[in-house]
């Protein structure tokens, strides 16, 4: 059974065992506006929790995407290079950024649940 958690930088991570899929939240996509470019990490790249891992650019701004967990990138969503607007259309589905193998599942406890994230966004 998978579990989805959130960061205070508006990344989501769907965890399934030792594997995770990462992207930006609907809130982040709405704040960015029309996404025009996404720079994704290559498979094999190792990153620590909170480390810069990707870049998303919109007509308004460019923003860093941070790794919600420590691990190694196993795949990137190549479809985003052809159609970065997928991030706006389906940010928490087809607009995922990368997949990773988790190094420390204990990091998950540091992330927000869906209810906690919803409360966090209300305060913004």
Residue 98 structural domain: 3-104
**What is the rounded distance in angstroms from the CA atom of residue 70 to the CA atom of residue 110?**
12
In a domain, 15, yes or no: yes
User: Where residue 96 sits, what CATH number does that domain have?
Assistant: 2.40.50.100
pLDDT at 123: 95
Do 22 and 87 contact (CB within 8 A), yes or no?
A: no
**What is the rounded distance in angstroms from the CA atom of residue 74 to the CA atom of residue 72?**
6
Q: How many domains does the chain have?
A: 1
pTM of the full predicted structure?
0.96
In a domain, 112, yes or no: no
**What is the rounded distance in angstroms from the CA atom of residue 95 to the CA atom of residue 75?**
14
How far separated are the first and last CA of the chain, in Å rounded?
A: 31
In a domain, 60, yes or no: yes
Q: What is the pLDDT of residues 45-93, one digit of tens each?
A: 999 999 999 999 999 999 999 999 999 999 999 999 999 999 999 999 9
Provide the β-strand partners of residue 44.
Answer: none
């Amino acid at each position: 059974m998978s579990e989805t958690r959130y960061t205070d930088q508006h990344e989501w991570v769907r965890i399934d065992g030792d594997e995770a899929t990462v992207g930006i939240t609907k809130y982040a996509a709405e704040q960015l506006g029309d996404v025009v470019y996404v720079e994704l990490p290559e498979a094999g790249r190792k990153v620590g929790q909170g480390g810069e891992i990707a870049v998303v650019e919109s007509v308004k701004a460019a923003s860093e995407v941070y790794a919600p967990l420590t691990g190694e990138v196993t795949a990137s969503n190549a479809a985003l290079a052809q159609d970065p607007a997928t991030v706006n259309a389906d940010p928490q589905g087809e607009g995922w950024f990368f997949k990773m193998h988790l190094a420390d599942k204990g990091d998950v406890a540091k992330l927000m649940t869906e209810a906690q994230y919803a409360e966090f966004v209300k305060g913004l």
